[in-house]
């Protein structure tokens, strides 16, 4: 909801309520920007993969437009989209495509169609501890490790000897089911098979890398932007025999890395006013530089679809 409180600061609580009501009355769209100093609040929620980059966007954008406050929170792509469908936030971040059922729900709830913009790319990296001798993995092996009904439970079964451990049971690190990363991995690495029960389902991209970095026998998946010195990113092969590809910017752009995906922001209906200006800025060179600096892959200039 875009709130434009009037300028008198003394009776703020009352006026804030009045402004909220007024904004609700005109459908939550950005009202005409008055000449008076006013603070516009943009609510932004969703993907944990994107929460870091979204926060930097918000901070950088404050320098460009001091009268706009962007409030960023995570929770997962599903949580962000669920909030958008109820009209609770202005922009939802999602590291997966919106589902047809979600579009339907939005139209039922608010009468508006969600509109999405590709704001960057992420390569989902497969992480192991830095002392793990493994350097590349096939999607088939990932399925054997992660999927329901699969049999691989020990590193020795795929020919890996972890130095200095007696029990080489693979510690599978996964994400909570509201995460876009979880759904993307299930779809693209496991061929939509379910995860086997018993993986550690963590609540954030950073937590996955932290746990893998602290556990010799762990394997996990997370955005490539979260790599640290304690972990190693594996090269991934989509088919046996084809070359293993490391998650790099070039491999994402030419689509040779099998676990690359688009990052999106969604709005209800075509973005208006301050929200439109913000998304325009995200897709500008300045906004895309933030994407690159955060460890993700920016959208090439000719592929940017501006609102």
Partner 1 sequence: MSPEDAPGPAPVSRPQRPRWAILGERAIEALIRLSGVSAILFVAAIFFFVLREAAPVVFREDFSLGQFLFSTEWYPTSANNVRYGTLALTVGTLSVTALAMALAVPFGLGAAIYLSEFCAPRVRETLKVVIELLSAIPSVVWGFVGLTVMSKLIVKLTGAPVGVNVLNGGIILALMSVPVIVSIGEDALKAVPDSYREAGLALGATRWQLVYRVLVPAARNGLLAAVLLGVGRAVGETMAVLMATGHAVHIPAGILDSVRTLTANIAAELGEAPAGSDHYRVLFLTGTLLFLITFAVNLTADFVVRGIRRK
118 near partner 1, judged by CB under 8 A: no
* H or E element, residue 220: strand 218-223
Kindly state the smallest distance separating residue 217's Cβ from partner 1, in Å: 5
Does residue 156 bind partner 1 (CB under 8 A)?
no
Residue 150 sits in the site that holds partner 1 (CB under 8 A)? no
Among 112, 188, 200, 206, interactor with partner 1 by CB under 8 A: 200
48 contributes a contact to partner 1 by CB under 8 A? no
187 contributes a contact to partner 1 by CB under 8 A: yes
Instruction: Please tell me whether residue 208 binds partner 1 under the rule CB under 8 A.
Output: no
Q: Is 114 in the site for partner 1 (CB under 8 A)?
A: no
3-state SS of 158-173?
Answer: HCCCCCCCCCCECEEE
Contacting partner 1 (CB under 8 A), which of 194, 254, 285, 293? 194
Q: What are phi and psi of 271, to 5 degrees?
A: -65, 145
**Binding segment for partner 1 among 25-33, 50-58, 114-122, 175-183 (CB under 8 A)?**
175-183
261 contacts partner 1 (rule: CB under 8 A) = no
- Among 66, 111, 133, 198, indicate the residue that binds partner 1 (CB under 8 A): 198
75's torsion region: left (phi>0), alpha (psi -120 to 50) or beta?
Answer: left
Among 7, 135, 177, 242, binds partner 1 (CB under 8 A): 177
Phi then psi for residue 102, to 5 deg, are -75, -40
Stretch that binds partner 1, among 16-24, 191-199, 253-261, 287-295 (CB under 8 A): 191-199
- Contact footprint for partner 1 (CB under 8 A): 75-76, 78-79, 82, 85, 105, 148, 167, 169, 171, 176-178, 183, 186-187, 192, 194, 197-203, 211, 214-218
């Amino acid at each position: 909801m875009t709130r434009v409180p009037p300028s008198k600061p003394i009776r703020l609580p009352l006026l804030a309520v009045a402004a909220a009501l007024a904004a609700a009355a005109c459908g939550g769209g950005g009202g005409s920007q008055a000449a008076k100093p006013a603070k516009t609040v943009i609510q932004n929620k969703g993907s944990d993969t994107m929460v870091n980059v979204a926060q930097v966007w918000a901070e950088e954008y404050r320098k460009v437009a001091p009268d706009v406050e962007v409030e960023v929170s995570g929770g997962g792509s599903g949580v962000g989209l669920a909030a958008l469908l109820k009209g609770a936030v202005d922009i939802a971040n999602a590291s997966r495509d919106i589902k047809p059922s979600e579009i339907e729900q939005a139209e039922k709830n608010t009468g508006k169609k969600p509109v999405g913009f590709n704001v960057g790319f992420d390569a989902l990296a497969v992480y192991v501890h830095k002392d793990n001798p493994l350097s590349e993995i096939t999607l088939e092996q990932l399925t054997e490790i992660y999927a329901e009904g699969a049999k691989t439970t020990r590193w020795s079964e795929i020919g890996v000897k972890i130095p200095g451990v007696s029990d080489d049971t693979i510690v599978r690190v996964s994400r909570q089911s509201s995460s876009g990363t979880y759904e993307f991995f299930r779809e693209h690495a496991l061929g939509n098979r379910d995860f086997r029960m018993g993986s550690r389902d963590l609540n954030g991209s950073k937590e996955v890398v932290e746990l893998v970095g602290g556990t010799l026998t762990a394997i996990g998946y997370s955005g490539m932007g979260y790599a640290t010195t304690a972990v190693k990113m594996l090269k991934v092969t989509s088919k046996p025999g084809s070359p293993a590809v490391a998650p790099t910017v070039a491999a994402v752009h030419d689509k040779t890395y099998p676990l690359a995906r688009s990052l999106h922001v969604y709005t209800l209906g075509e973005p208006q006013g301050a929200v439109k200006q913000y998304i325009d800025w995200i897709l500008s060179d300045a906004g895309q530089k933030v994407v690159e600096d955060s460890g993700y892959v920016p959208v090439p200039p000719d592929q940017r679809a501006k609102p």
